[in-house]
Structure 1
Amino acid sequence: MNQHMNKNEDSFINKHPLDQETLFLVSQTFKALSDPTRIRILNLLCSAEHSVNELAERLNLGQSTVSHQLRFLKQLRLVKFRRAGTTLYYSKDDDHIMNLLNQAIEHATHN
């Protein structure tokens, strides 16, 4: 067993059989996190909500590209939105995924 796992991780991993739905959801989560554009969007949404236009401007991407990626992330319930007039503001919807993303970023930047 990996010595770096804490008790909580050790108590869940390998002790619960993975049904097809769980396997699918886990694979979709990693699919979501495998795309650089989606990672950039989630990284911005970790700290604050943003409109589609704000995200597009901050990431130097087209609004349609950002909207497409947000739709994918919303389907997985990784982001949520609220409407203010005609503007949609997106924010994170799952702290577990944001923690996973943070850990991946820390791992990638660890020297």
Structure 2
Amino acid sequence: MHTSLPDFHMPDDEQVQVAAEQFRLLADPTRVKILWALLQGETSVACLAELVGAAPTAVSQHLAKLRLAGLVHGRREGTFIYYTAADEHVRRLLTEALFQGEQLPQG
């Protein structure tokens, strides 16, 4: 059927599911702000709450979902957990999403 496209490879169902889940998680403005803040460095829930303008409980809930998706990591120090963005993949994803409009031709 697609013999005219020799280098065409459809991603498998698992790859598509993972990508869709990451896009779904990034569809929330608070999560985008949280991830962007975490790309600047490790921080706590209280600091993130202040940075993104949300209640600490809401930030904790968002972080739990982002952690399950592998987009953030937590490090426990005593009674506190400090979070960071998972890797350079998160930076690329957010940079593309946030700044793609700046690269579009005006017209």
Above 0.5 in TM-score? yes
4+ residue stretches of structure 1 with deviation over 4 A?
none
Letter in 1 for 2:27: S
Residue 28 (structure 1) aligned to one of 17, 21, 30:
21
Bigger Rg, which one: 2
In the alignment, the residues of structure 1 paired with residue 36 and residue 98 of structure 2 have an alpha-carbon distance, to the nearest angstrom, of 10
State how many pairs are aligned.
98
Residue 77 (structure 1) aligned to one of 45, 60, 70:
70
Q: TM-score, normalised by structure 1?
A: 0.80
TM superposition shift of 1:109? 3.7
5+ long unaligned stretches in structure 1: 1-13
In the alignment, the residues of structure 1 paired with residue 73 and residue 102 of structure 2 have an alpha-carbon distance, to the nearest angstrom, of 28
Q: Determine the structure 2 residue equivalent to 1:92.
A: 85
TM superposition shift of 1:59? 1.6
**What is the Cα-based RMSD across aligned positions, in Å?**
1.5
Q: TM-score, normalised by structure 2?
A: 0.83
Q: Determine the structure 2 residue equivalent to 1:68.
A: 61
CA contact (8 A) 1:50 1:91 kept: yes
In the alignment, the residues of structure 1 paired with residue 21 and residue 63 of structure 2 have an alpha-carbon distance, to the nearest angstrom, of 14
In the alignment, the residues of structure 2 paired with residue 15 and residue 94 of structure 1 have an alpha-carbon distance, to the nearest angstrom, of 28
Residue 50 (structure 2) aligned to one of 47, 57, 62:
57
Q: Determine the structure 2 residue equivalent to 1:4.
A: none
Per-residue CA distance 1:8-55 (angstroms, 9 max, x = gap): xxxxxx743322211110001111111101000011011111101110
